Amino acid sequence: MEQPQLNEHNKQEYPPMHTCEHIVNGTMDKLYGCGRAVSAHIERKKSKLDFALPAPLSEEQVAELERRVNEVIQRNLDVTTEFITQQEAAQRFDMKRLPEGASDTVRVVHVGDYDQCLCIGLHVANTSEIGTFKITTHSYADGIFRIRFKLEK
Protein backbone atom coordinates (compact mmCIF):
# COMPACT_ATOMS: atom_id res chain seq x y z
CA MET A 1 0.00 0.00 0.00
CA GLU A 2 1.22 3.45 -0.90
CA GLN A 3 2.27 5.59 2.04
CA PRO A 4 0.72 9.03 2.56
CA GLN A 5 2.63 11.82 0.87
CA LEU A 6 2.65 15.57 1.04
CA ASN A 7 1.09 17.50 -1.83
CA GLU A 8 1.90 21.04 -2.89
CA HIS A 9 -0.36 22.38 -0.14
CA ASN A 10 1.76 20.52 2.45
CA LYS A 11 -1.26 18.43 3.44
CA GLN A 12 -0.89 14.73 4.10
CA GLU A 13 -3.09 12.65 1.80
CA TYR A 14 -4.17 9.05 2.17
CA PRO A 15 -4.74 7.63 -1.34
CA PRO A 16 -7.34 4.96 -0.39
CA MET A 17 -9.59 7.53 1.32
CA HIS A 18 -9.12 10.09 -1.44
CA THR A 19 -10.04 7.55 -4.13
CA CYS A 20 -13.05 6.44 -2.07
CA GLU A 21 -14.18 10.08 -1.98
CA HIS A 22 -14.36 10.03 -5.79
CA ILE A 23 -16.56 6.92 -5.68
CA VAL A 24 -18.87 8.43 -3.04
CA ASN A 25 -19.21 11.62 -5.08
CA GLY A 26 -20.00 9.68 -8.24
CA THR A 27 -22.50 7.49 -6.43
CA MET A 28 -24.32 10.40 -4.78
CA ASP A 29 -24.64 12.14 -8.13
CA LYS A 30 -25.84 8.98 -9.89
CA LEU A 31 -28.42 8.21 -7.17
CA TYR A 32 -29.64 11.72 -6.31
CA GLY A 33 -28.49 14.04 -9.11
CA CYS A 34 -26.93 16.37 -6.54
CA GLY A 35 -23.55 16.84 -8.19
CA ARG A 36 -20.32 16.44 -6.29
CA ALA A 37 -19.86 17.43 -2.64
CA VAL A 38 -19.97 21.14 -1.88
CA SER A 39 -17.45 20.62 0.91
CA ALA A 40 -15.03 17.83 1.80
CA HIS A 41 -12.61 17.01 4.57
CA ILE A 42 -10.64 13.86 3.79
CA GLU A 43 -8.37 12.28 6.41
CA ARG A 44 -6.83 8.84 7.00
CA LYS A 45 -8.98 7.88 10.02
CA LYS A 46 -12.30 9.50 9.10
CA SER A 47 -13.66 11.85 6.50
CA LYS A 48 -16.75 13.91 5.78
CA LEU A 49 -18.57 15.10 2.68
CA ASP A 50 -21.36 17.67 2.43
CA PHE A 51 -23.97 17.48 -0.31
CA ALA A 52 -26.60 20.06 -1.21
CA LEU A 53 -29.92 18.18 -1.02
CA PRO A 54 -33.52 19.38 -0.60
CA ALA A 55 -34.12 16.80 2.16
CA PRO A 56 -32.08 14.33 4.22
CA LEU A 57 -31.57 10.77 3.03
CA SER A 58 -33.57 8.09 4.83
CA GLU A 59 -31.80 5.32 6.75
CA GLU A 60 -32.60 3.01 3.82
CA GLN A 61 -31.01 5.46 1.35
CA VAL A 62 -27.90 5.78 3.53
CA ALA A 63 -27.60 1.97 3.65
CA GLU A 64 -28.05 1.83 -0.13
CA LEU A 65 -25.32 4.46 -0.63
CA GLU A 66 -22.93 2.44 1.53
CA ARG A 67 -23.82 -0.79 -0.32
CA ARG A 68 -23.36 0.78 -3.76
CA VAL A 69 -20.02 2.40 -2.91
CA ASN A 70 -18.71 -0.95 -1.62
CA GLU A 71 -20.02 -2.66 -4.75
CA VAL A 72 -17.94 -0.28 -6.89
CA ILE A 73 -14.85 -0.77 -4.70
CA GLN A 74 -15.20 -4.56 -5.04
CA ARG A 75 -15.17 -4.28 -8.85
CA ASN A 76 -11.36 -3.87 -8.62
CA LEU A 77 -11.37 -0.93 -11.02
CA ASP A 78 -8.12 0.58 -12.23
CA VAL A 79 -7.59 4.22 -11.33
CA THR A 80 -6.00 6.12 -14.21
CA THR A 81 -5.26 9.69 -15.22
CA GLU A 82 -5.39 11.69 -18.42
CA PHE A 83 -4.25 15.20 -19.19
CA ILE A 84 -6.47 17.50 -21.25
CA THR A 85 -6.67 21.20 -21.99
CA GLN A 86 -8.83 23.50 -19.89
CA GLN A 87 -10.89 24.16 -23.02
CA GLU A 88 -11.68 20.44 -23.38
CA ALA A 89 -12.27 20.13 -19.63
CA ALA A 90 -14.81 22.98 -19.71
CA GLN A 91 -16.95 20.86 -22.07
CA ARG A 92 -16.87 17.88 -19.69
CA PHE A 93 -16.62 19.23 -16.13
CA ASP A 94 -17.75 21.96 -13.75
CA MET A 95 -14.75 24.28 -13.68
CA LYS A 96 -15.83 26.43 -10.69
CA ARG A 97 -13.27 24.89 -8.33
CA LEU A 98 -10.34 25.16 -10.69
CA PRO A 99 -7.89 27.57 -9.01
CA GLU A 100 -7.16 30.86 -10.68
CA GLY A 101 -3.87 30.67 -12.56
CA ALA A 102 -4.08 26.89 -13.13
CA SER A 103 -2.07 25.66 -16.09
CA ASP A 104 -3.75 25.19 -19.46
CA THR A 105 -3.38 21.42 -19.02
CA VAL A 106 -5.46 19.77 -16.29
CA ARG A 107 -5.52 16.23 -14.90
CA VAL A 108 -8.59 14.00 -15.01
CA VAL A 109 -8.73 11.02 -12.65
CA HIS A 110 -10.78 8.02 -13.80
CA VAL A 111 -12.04 5.33 -11.44
CA GLY A 112 -12.55 2.66 -14.08
CA ASP A 113 -15.62 3.48 -16.15
CA TYR A 114 -17.48 4.60 -13.01
CA ASP A 115 -16.29 8.12 -12.23
CA GLN A 116 -14.10 10.85 -13.64
CA CYS A 117 -13.25 14.29 -12.31
CA LEU A 118 -10.59 16.95 -12.28
CA CYS A 119 -8.16 16.25 -9.43
CA ILE A 120 -4.59 16.91 -8.32
CA GLY A 121 -4.64 14.45 -5.39
CA LEU A 122 -3.03 11.07 -4.76
CA HIS A 123 -4.96 7.89 -5.55
CA VAL A 124 -4.60 4.12 -5.38
CA ALA A 125 -3.81 2.22 -8.58
CA ASN A 126 -6.85 -0.06 -8.17
CA THR A 127 -9.98 0.07 -6.01
CA SER A 128 -8.95 -3.27 -4.46
CA GLU A 129 -6.54 -1.19 -2.31
CA ILE A 130 -9.33 0.84 -0.65
CA GLY A 131 -10.90 -1.51 1.89
CA THR A 132 -14.53 -1.36 3.05
CA PHE A 133 -16.43 1.93 3.10
CA LYS A 134 -18.43 2.49 6.29
CA ILE A 135 -20.73 5.47 6.96
CA THR A 136 -20.31 6.22 10.67
CA THR A 137 -22.85 9.04 11.06
CA HIS A 138 -24.90 11.44 8.97
CA SER A 139 -26.81 14.65 9.59
CA TYR A 140 -28.87 17.27 7.78
CA ALA A 141 -29.12 21.02 8.36
CA ASP A 142 -29.85 24.05 6.18
CA GLY A 143 -30.00 22.08 2.92
CA ILE A 144 -26.73 20.24 3.55
CA PHE A 145 -26.58 16.47 4.03
CA ARG A 146 -23.31 15.49 5.72
CA ILE A 147 -21.92 11.99 5.80
CA ARG A 148 -19.00 10.97 7.97
CA PHE A 149 -17.19 7.81 6.98
CA LYS A 150 -14.15 5.62 7.47
CA LEU A 151 -12.42 2.76 5.72
CA GLU A 152 -12.06 -0.69 7.28
CA LYS A 153 -9.66 -3.36 6.14
Give 80-124 pLDDT, tens digit per residue.
999 999 999 999 998 888 888 888 999 999 999 999 999 989 999
pTM, entire model = 0.90
Residue ranges and CATH numbers for the domains of the chain are: 11-152 (3.30.980.10)
pLDDT of 151 > 70? The answer is yes
What is the per-residue DSSP string for 6-53?
Answer: E-TT--EE-HHHHHHHHHHHHHHHHHH---S-SEEE--SS-EEEEEE-
Give the pLDDT band of residue 11 (cuts 50, 70, 90).
Answer: low
**Strands laid side by side in the 39-41 sheet:** 39-41, 47-52, 144-152, 132-141
Give the residue ranges of DSSP H helices in 84-142.
86-92
